[in-house]
Structure 1
Amino acid sequence: MKRQAQAVVLMLLGGAVLRTSLTDAYLRYVKEGLRPFLIAAGVALVAIAVATLYYELRERRAAHAHEHPEPKVSWLLLAPVVGLLLVAPGALGAYAADSTGTALGAWEEESDYPPLPDGDPAEIPVLDYASRAIFDEGRSIEGRRVRLTGFISRADDGTVFLTRMILSCCAADARPIKVGIEGAGTDGYADDTWVAVVGTYSPTMVRDPINNERIPFIAAETLEPVGAPVKEYE
Structure 2
Amino acid sequence: MKRNIQVLLLLFLGVGLLHIALLTDLYLRYVRPGLRPALIASGVLLLVLGAVSAARDGFPFDRARTGRNDGHSGHGHGHGGGGPRIAWLLYVPALTLLFLAPPALGSYTASRDNTEAPKAPKAAAGDSLFPPLPGGGVVPMSLNDFSSRAVWDTGGTLKGRTVRLTGFVTPGHRGAWYVSRLAISCCAADAQVRKVRVHGATAPRPDTWVTVTGTWHPSGRTGTAGASPALDATAVRRVPEPKDPYNDVVATRTGS
Into which bin does the TM-score normalised by the smaller protein fall? 0.7 to 0.9
State the TM-score, normalizing by the size of structure 1. 0.84
Coordinate RMSD, CA, aligned: 2.6
Give me the identity figure in percent. 38
The equivalent residue for 1:78 is: 91
Q: Residue 209 of structure 1 corresponds to which residue in structure 2?
A: none
The answer as to whether partners of 1:165 and 1:175 remain within 8 angstroms in 2 is: yes
More strand by share: 1
Structure 1 residue 216: deviation in Å?
1.0
In structure 1, how many angstroms separate the alpha carbons of the residues matched to 2:143 and 2:62? 63
Give the Å deviation of 1:134: 0.9
Deviation, 1:201, is 2.2
**One of 89, 106, 109 as aligned partner of 2:102:** 89
Q: SS of 1:204's equivalent?
A: coil
User: 2-side partners of 1:231 and 1:197: how far apart?
Assistant: 19
8 Å CA contact 1:205–1:216 kept in 2: the answer is no
Q: Say whether residues 1:7 and 2:7 are aligned partners.
A: yes
Counterpart in the other structure of 2:69: 66
> Which of 1 and 2 has greater Rg?
2
Offset of residue 31 of structure 1? 1.7
**One-letter code of the match for 1:9?**
L
Alignment check: 8 A CA contact 1:148 1:196 kept = yes
Q: Structure 2 regions of 5+ residues with no counterpart? A: 71-77, 124-128, 249-256
Cα distance change on mapping 1:38 and 1:117 into 2, 3 Å: farther
Q: How many residues align?
A: 225
**Where do 1:30-41 residues align within 5 Å?**
30-41=31-42
The alpha carbon displacement at 1:117 in A equals: 5.7
Deviation of the 1:162 alpha carbon: 1.1
1:108 maps to 120
Q: Greater helix share, 1 or 2? A: 1
**CA-to-aligned-CA distance 1:128-183 (integer Å, 9 cap, x gap):** 11111112246333333211101111222322211111112211122321111123
Q: Is the 8 A contact 2:183 2:192 kept in 1?
A: yes
What is the 5 A alignment of 1:84-233?
Answer: 84-105=97-118, 107-111=119-123, 112-116=129-133, 120-137=137-154, 139-183=156-200, 185-187=201-203, 189-205=204-220, 214-233=227-246
1:30–1:170 contact (8 Å) kept in structure 2: yes
Offset at 1:6?
1.4
Residue 206 of structure 2 aligns to which amino acid in structure 1? D
